[in-house]
Amino acid sequence: MSGSVRSGAEAPKVRRNWLVITAAAAALSVPLTAHSPAAHAATGAHATAKKPAARKTFDQRVAALAKTLVGDPYVYGGTSPAGFDCSGLAQYVYGHVAWGRSIQRIAEDQFLEFRPVSHRAARPGDLVFFHVDSDPDSYVYHVGVYEGGEMMVAATTWGEGVQYQNFSWAGDTVTFGTITH
């Protein structure tokens, strides 16, 4: 006989495969029609599907969390939303995003821990370090969370608290650091 006619031995195999697919679909709560050739043909190769939302990077989550803390008070030595100093804010946001990372507590130590990058290569969520002078190896006295352009979030001083602010006032005394790229 021709190859188009099924033998009796093949019919149970087809039914068994159908039962396996049906059981798997039920277990996974997947619509059974997704497995049928008719459903595949109906949707076609050019069916439009929503793309999954882009996942935020670690740096983007750090930058977003820092912005939510704007308005929190300044407290010397502070490391929580009850009050932050500059390096306490940086340490807090790095430790409290998904897949958090523990970083050093003091601005100078954070500077030594982070890899230097240029302003152009810096990404929101990296850190902005403020040096006592234009020597990039000079002591770091202040740190902020980079937000892009000339902006950062930083815990400034008592009475001002955590602010979203421009850092261009510091001129050539700032450097940028990353631990992610």
Strand blocks (E) in the chain: 79-80, 83-84, 115-117, 127-131, 140-148, 151-155, 162-166, 174-178
Which pLDDT value is given to residue 39? 41
CATH class of 58-178: alpha beta
For the chain, list residues with pLDDT below 50: 1-7, 10-47
Query: Model confidence over 36-80: pLDDT tens digits?
Result: 444 434 444 444 556 666 789 999 999 999 999 999 999 999 999
pLDDT at site 158: 87
Report the alpha-carbon distance of residue 148 to residue 180 in Å, rounded: 16
pLDDT at 55: 86
Q: What is the pLDDT of residue 42?
A: 43
- Rounded to whole angstroms, the Cα distance separating 20 from 29 reads 14
Domain boundaries, the chain: 10-43, 58-178
Would you state the pLDDT for residue 26? 41
- Identify the H or E element spanning 41: helix 37-43
